[in-house]
Structure 1
Amino acid sequence: MKQLLIVWHSRTGAARQMAEAAARGARSAAAQLEQDADLRVVLRRAADAEAGELLASQGYLFCAPENLAGLSGEMKEFFDRNYYAVLDRIQGLPYACAISAGSDGAGAARQAERICTGWRLKAVAPALIVNMGAQTARQILAPKTVAQADLAKCEELGGLLAGTLLLG
């Protein structure tokens, strides 16, 4: 059985919704391939994700908000806490990133991509950045609802990872 680990952090709900949509997409792709018994999808909040789960997985999706032009602190702490424990033990495995952003998201995507490059993971797609359009303090801190079109993109990304794991 292959395992896809989806590590997420969210304060306002957007990145959580994106991670859940990717998980749905991965499960749906596995079912369409008639291999749903061959794929385990694990959703794990960044604060709770451990090196053992990274080592037990064959693919990854990292889903987080951009905060102040970088990864959110909790997602960065996940990478800091687990980086050396899995270094040289997960190289070559597929991954993707999904970033929720107020307007840009490129800084967080670059930061995650640099970390994954250090792990020598293989990107299956460019980072998916969902622009929530939040610009004021009130908008930034408010609970978010991700548009269906953006959730569909997250489902596609999860499906791509599932297909990569199951057919690769």
Structure 2
Amino acid sequence: MSTLLIVHHTPSPHCQEMFEAVLSGATDPEIEGVEIVRRAALVVTPTDMLSADGYILGTPANLGYMSGALKHAFDTCYYQILDSTRGRPYGLYLHGNQGTEGAEKAIDAITTGLGWTRAAETVVVSGAPDSDAREACWELGATVAAGLMS
């Protein structure tokens, strides 16, 4: 069985709505043989990262950058997972009211350094998630999870 780790920071109702849509897609009944593990960015450990076969990252863009919580997750885990997680797939969803480019660029730099492979297009939502945004989040979760099916 493969493991998909969702590392998220959900400080707002909008981020929570996106997280729930991603989770719903990842746990679609048609996706078999994939265990979904959820960890808040402030508590994820290197062991969690090493145990996963793929990742979905979720964060608000605060002042144009990823949340401090997701940055903390990378700071805590980066060197311990650097050589062991290369080639693993990941997806990303971001919520921001303005200026999400810096957050996306920073996460791209970190995941490139880790050698991770983008498995789906990044979902970026500004303001309240509408039905299209929720569907994009669902698709993100389903796509990354389905890619891990054995």
Q: Same fold (TM over 0.5)?
A: yes
Structure ranking higher in helix proportion: 1
Deviation at 1:21, TM superposition (A): 1.3
Structure 1 residue aligned with 2:6: 6
Residue 159 of structure 1 is matched in structure 2 by 142
TM-superposed CA distance for 1:147, in Å, is 2.3
Q: Secondary structure at the match of 2:20?
A: helix
Counterpart of 1:150 in structure 2 is: 133
Larger radius of gyration: 1
CA distance in 1, matches of 2:133, 2:92: 14
Runs in 1 of length 4+ with deviation above 6 angstroms? none
**2:80 corresponding residue in structure 1:** 85
Letter in 2 for 1:24: S
Q: Does 1:61 align with 2:61?
A: no
Q: Is the 8 A contact 1:104 1:131 kept in 2?
A: no
Task: After superposing the two structures, state which structure 1 stretch, 87-96 or 148-157, moved more.
Answer: 148-157
Aligned residues: 150
TM-score normalized by structure 1? Answer: 0.84
For the pair 1:44 / 2:39, whether they are aligned, the reply is yes
TM-score by length of 2: 0.94
Q: Distance in 1 between matches of 2:66 and 2:49?
A: 19
CA-CA distance at 1:10 after TM superposition: 2.3
Report percent identity of matched pairs. 30
